[in-house]
Amino acid sequence: MTGACGLDVVGLTAGYGDTCVIEDVTFTVPARGRVGVLGRNGVGKTTLLATLVGLTRRHAGRIWLGGNEITLMPTSRRARAGLGYVPQTRDVFRSLTVEENLRVGLKGRPVSALDEAYALFPRLYERRRHFASQLSGGEQQMLATARAILGQPSVLLLDEPLEGLAPVICDELMRSLDALSAKAGMTLVLVEQQIERALDFVETVMILDRGRIAWSGVAADLRRRDDVIETYLSIPHRH
Amino acid sequence: MAPIPGRPAASPRPGCRSRGVPGRELVAPTVVAILGALAYLAFPDDLAFFTRIIVAALFVMSLDLVVGYCGVATLGHAVLYGAGAYAAGILCVDGLTDPLLLIAAGSVAGVVAGLVTALVILRAHGLPQLVLSIAVVQLAYEAANKARDITGGSDGLSGISPGPVFGLFEFDLWGRTAYVLALVLLIATLVVLRRVVRSPFGLLCRGIKQDPDRIRAIGGTIYGNLVKMYALSGAVAGLAGGLTAVTTGVVGLDSVSFEWSAEALVMLVLGGAGTLYGALVGAVVFTGFEHYVAAVDPYHWLFVVGALLIGVVLALPAGLGSLAAWLRRLLPQGAP
């Protein structure tokens, strides 16, 4: 791995073309930390992650990865600097097999490194000869995540990894992410709509609303803040 | 990253990761070798024609590397082929007669032409890229035409008389040496290219074709890898060009023409892009069709070729190479 490092973002304003989707976003993710980004649909969560990897138009602000400024780097250099990204769309290469998809992510590492991905997601080993287009949604998510971690990122950005997955697959995926974070020391930034699962996993949370950070704090505190949850996450009452 | 411990039950056994069945990669080149040997024995009078098919197959495979595997739109690939043909031809006229060295020189010239072409056309995408590639091949054609002192211009470059292969095997009137040399080069190229397209670099190129943004997000560079593949494609196209110069003894302007580029693209679509075998099948079917149908009806053979193309594209959009998979689907379940 590139080495555990954190992420520092200051005054980030970005969007598509002249339109700003996120405005003046400032936050810090400590090395080995787990941060959840929550918020309703359309508040800019996906745009925030896409901006961190350089896929949107940045209007202002700066980004540091482990002390190195990556603000002006193109996407490929950010990835080589240690920023991993698993997009919401689970962009696996559909015409390649599972193993070929993983080999694309090796970036010069020996083929034996695939064992890391198979150890983390044993299901992928069973399906290694299948084309990515033949996988279920959960398996595609595992593949996209596994391919990202083969690049040995120090910080992994995950955009709604649980969307559309069966509960049992969600459990399997979250266990794997837990192992990544706890044992491999990877810093994780998780955008998620499943609030309860996200709060079980992350240590700190920031809530976006209309492209700005509306609330941030410790995950355990958010559980007690029904007013915040009701205002920004559209969950009237929790039991 | 350290391996994640604690998942012994479902973790793969060490060393049992899939790498394909040993020797499986050699099945296809072996089939090509057997078919090539059968053709040698069964049709000894047609070896010059078969050599032409092999040259076309090599050229179409080189085109497949950039079109089928990288998604680059080009109608100017003959620049790479022509560079190889002229380099080998000119060197031979100037006194270098070792056929293998001439072919190697053709391959190097193809790499140089590939790099120069890539620098120009990879700056654009889609239709502008296609137009740029046409402009490049037209420029190369005109340059070859104007430099008639070196290239022979529209009369072609003649007087190419390579020596024997390994100092032993003369190029004979029946084309035996030329055919065997061409067949060996085809098989060697096929083995090498199969390894390349299945390597992480080859897979990265296929990823670029499908989703360049995703490749960037995992740290891959688009331009650099496409230029590398273009150079490799140039090596193969230049090899084909050098081979044709050595085996036919002439190099014409048609070797660097838009028409030859377009014909190669037609062969690729006919056989199926992105498989290497499709290129092989397309070259064999198209060149064979052209040869035999034109002999039967020299005036209307293009109609038949056109009808074949329309039929294949409509019935088998993935090309003739996908015919085997299509037939398999037609067979009832459980059929042998």
pLDDT value of residue A97: 92
In a 13 Å sphere around the CA of A16, the CA atoms on its Cβ side amount to 4
Residues of A in contact with B12 (CB under 8 A): 115, 118-119, 122, 125
Contacts of B215 in chain A (CB under 8 A): 76, 104
pLDDT tens digits for B25-79? 788 889 999 999 999 999 999 899 999 999 999 999 999 999 999 999 899 999 9
- ipTM over cut 0.85: no
Min Cα separation A51/chain B (Å): 12
Residue A125: list chain B partners with CB under 8 A.
10-12, 17
pLDDT of residue A44: 93
Q: Verify whether the Cβ–Cβ distance A179 to B217 is below 8 Å.
A: no
Q: Is residue B134 part of a domain?
A: yes
**Chain B residues with beta carbon closer than 8 angstroms to that of A95:** 206, 210
Contact A184 B12 (CB under 8 A): no
Whether B215 sits inside 8 A of A147 (CB atoms) is no
Question: Is residue B206 a part of any domain in this protein?
Answer: yes
Give the pLDDT confidence score for residue B5 in this predicted structure.
39
pLDDT of residue B197: 93
Domain that holds residue B126: 26-166+175-257
CA–CA distance, A193 with A190 (Å, rounded to integer): 10
Residue A18: the pLDDT is 85
Give the pairing of strands A19-29 and A7-16. antiparallel
CB B227 within 8 A of CB B72: no
Chain A residue numbers with beta carbons less than 8 Å from the beta carbon of B203 are: 93, 96, 100-101, 103-104
**B16 has a chain A CB within 8 A of its CB:** no
Does any domain span residue B128?
yes
Interchain proximity A106–B200, CB inside 8 Å: yes
At residue B200, the pLDDT reads 87
In a domain, B75, yes or no: yes
Is B5 inside a domain boundary? no
pLDDT tens over chain A, length 239 residues: 556 789 999 999 999 988 899 999 999 999 999 999 999 888 999 999 999 999 999 999 999 998 899 999 999 999 999 999 998 876 788 889 999 999 988 877 888 889 888 988 888 999 999 999 889 888 888 899 888 888 889 999 999 888 877 888 888 888 888 888 887 788 999 998 888 888 988 999 999 999 999 999 998 888 888 888 888 886 544 44
A53/B318 Cα distance (integer angstroms): 35
N- to C-terminal Cα distance for chain B?
46
Inter-chain CB proximity A103 and B2 less than 8 Å: no
How far is C-alpha A170 from the chain's CA centre? Answer: 15
- The answer to whether position B7 is within a domain reads no
In this complex, do A183 and B210 lie within 8 Å of one another by their Cβ atoms? no
Nearest-CA distance A59 → chain B (Å): 20
**Cβ of B17 and A108 within 8 Å?**
no
Q: Per residue of chain B (336 residues), what is the pLDDT tens digit?
A: 444 333 333 444 444 344 444 566 788 889 999 999 999 999 999 899 999 999 999 999 999 999 999 999 899 999 999 999 999 999 999 999 899 999 999 999 999 999 999 999 998 988 999 999 999 999 999 999 999 999 988 898 988 889 899 888 888 878 899 999 999 999 999 999 999 998 889 999 999 998 888 888 888 889 999 999 999 999 999 999 999 999 999 999 999 999 999 999 999 999 999 989 899 999 999 998 888 888 888 888 888 888 888 888 888 888 887 777 777 677 655 444
**Which residues in chain A have Cβ-Cβ distances shorter than 8 Å to B71?**
none
Q: Which residues contact B218 (CB under 8 A, 6 or more apart)?
A: A79, A84, A85, A104, A105, A107, A147, A148, A151
Q: Which of B4, B207, B221 sits opposite A120 (nearest CB)?
A: B4
Residue B11 lies in a domain: no
Question: What is the 3 state secondary structure string of chain A?
Answer: CCCCCCEEEEEEEEEECCEEEEEEEEEEECCCCEEEEECCCCCCHHHHHHHHCCCCEEEEEEEEECCEECCCCCHHHHHHHCEEEECCCCCCCCCCEHHHHHHHCCCCCCHHHHHHHHHHCHHHHHCCCCEHHHCCHHHHHHHHHHHHHHCCCCEEEEECCCCCCCHHHHHHHHHHHHHHHHHHCCEEEEECCCHHHHHHHCCEEEEEECCEEEEEEEHHHHHHCHHHHHHHHCCCCCC
CA–CA separation, A18 vs A21, rounded Å?
A: 10
Using CB atoms, pick whichever of A96, A105, A179 lies closest to residue B218: A105
Q: For residue A163, what pLDDT is reported? A: 82
* Residues in chain B within 8 Å Cβ distance of A120: 4, 7
Q: A35 — phi, psi (to 5°)? A: -120, 135
Number of domains in chain B: 1
